[in-house]
Chains A and B, each alone.
Chain A
């Protein structure tokens, strides 16, 4: 088994095919979307492939150390330039192909007009602990 991170972006990914902001959908379309995401996570729990899922607030700040005895420097939020993560799902699957298949399904979540969003999701393999037997 290998773990993969499926990353969803507020900004920074190529535009979706069905790219309409959620507050321009109908309430029923929002409900259908929320239900699809819930069913997807439930199904992965059922197959033993679900690890974790979290959503993030759009507000973020860059922070860095600014030297001894000084408070950290903060910068941002950067209005339109910064890549912005919206949330993630961690899955634990047999193959890379399976990870791609699941990301594809997640990207098909319904949006405006009840049609799939075709949202770009980023699939990132975890770096894991080294195996016991190396030679």
Chain B
């Protein structure tokens, strides 16, 4: 059975039910029920036309639910057997779904869960596994999100920026359970890029492709973190890099710069360098300057300080770091790195150990502890 096809069809079928008069919450439930039935029935009895099958079954589920729910007001539903909408309408429906699932009234966690279910076609169980929470908890999160958005008209125009933030969150969650969230985020961003002509959608897609290309090199065989400078660049996926750069260049020619394009440009400069030494740090600093201008984000300033350290020497990097709040995440790690490059292993070792204590995840903590240990071992000799 083709699960990928099933998932691709999900937003389309929700859109069709919406056009027939079902509200979003009911349509989404009905389609989820139809997906579960498809998983059960298709392996033995594959349909000739999967989309029509899903529409028919989901519509039946919707009518069953509407009839069963006698306490609710009589629903106005249009007649059955209406022709399926054309390709343009389908694209519009899908785009509207993205907007709805990323609605500003939702918390980020709710928007992520709803997007993965309604646009991504994942089951509640799969989403729960990916985020390491009980299935019942995730089910509640999704139904609360649907209640929150119940007053939103389906055809209300939305803001692409909110959708991009949700997709960025999904991508950053990475990989746990049997669903590869990074790959799923790329699929959803590709689909969005195909339905809307927006330079920042392209920018985010390029950013994801360029980072995903480096994933095979980012962890060692024992699961340890491998920093960019030490990665085996022959493991980078050149096909994804080429695609990412093409998508980015097409976006940049429109001359409407945004933060995702700028981040993608930095990723592209790293991907372009065959060795760490060949990296064009001067240009990377220029892109960080653009990013600071666009976002004024302290984390961006921290990354910029590290890039300055590469472009203009560790003293310049430390000077750029000195004006930032030491409580920023990864401040100690950045300082440790720059102090080591500046020839001060004692300070660097102390800062690496400090950074390890406040590391937000285990691979990073192990990596930072190892860095402290490496310097301490050198100092003992």
Closest to A26 in B: B377
Closest to A38 in B: B223
> By the criterion CB–CB under 8 Å, are B362 and A31 in contact?
no
Interface positions of B from 199 to 226, Cβ below 8 Å from A: 222-224
Cβ of B376: which chain A residues have Cβ within 8 Å of it? 23-24
B238 within 8 A of A: no
Bound form: Cα–Cα A10–B153 in Å: 53
Closest to A21 in B: B353
A58 within 8 A of B: yes
Q: Contacts A23-B353, A23-B356, A24-B376 hold; do A31 and B369 have CB atoms under 8 A apart?
A: no
> By the criterion CB–CB under 8 Å, are B224 and A31 in contact?
yes
> By the criterion CB–CB under 8 Å, are B357 and A27 in contact?
no
Interface of B is mostly: helix
- Interface 1/0s, chain B 348-359, versus A by CB < 8 A? 010011001111
Bound form: Cα–Cα A38–B219 in Å: 15
Cβ of A25: which chain B residues have Cβ within 8 Å of it? 373
> By the criterion CB–CB under 8 Å, are A23 and B369 in contact?
yes
Bound form: Cα–Cα A27–B222 in Å: 14
A85–chain B nearest beta-carbon distance, Å: 15
> By the criterion CB–CB under 8 Å, are A22 and B224 in contact?
no
Count contacts between A and B, CB distance < 8 Å: 43
Interface of A is mostly: helix
B159 within 8 A of A: no
The contact of B377 among A27, A34, A38, A55, by CB within 8 Å, is A27
Beyond the given pairs A23-B369, A24-B373, A59-B358, 9 more chain A to chain B contacts, judged by CB atoms under 8 angstroms and listed by A's residue number, are: A22-B373, A23-B352, A23-B372, A23-B373, A25-B373, A26-B373, A27-B377, A34-B224, A58-B357
Residues on B facing A (Cβ under 8 Å) = 222-224, 349, 352-353, 356-360, 362, 365-366, 369-370, 372-374, 376-377
19 contacts between A and B (CB under 8 A): A21-B353, A22-B369, A23-B349, A23-B352, A23-B353, A23-B373, A25-B373, A27-B377, A30-B369, A30-B370, A31-B370, A34-B222, A34-B223, A34-B224, A55-B362, A57-B358, A57-B360, A58-B357, A59-B358
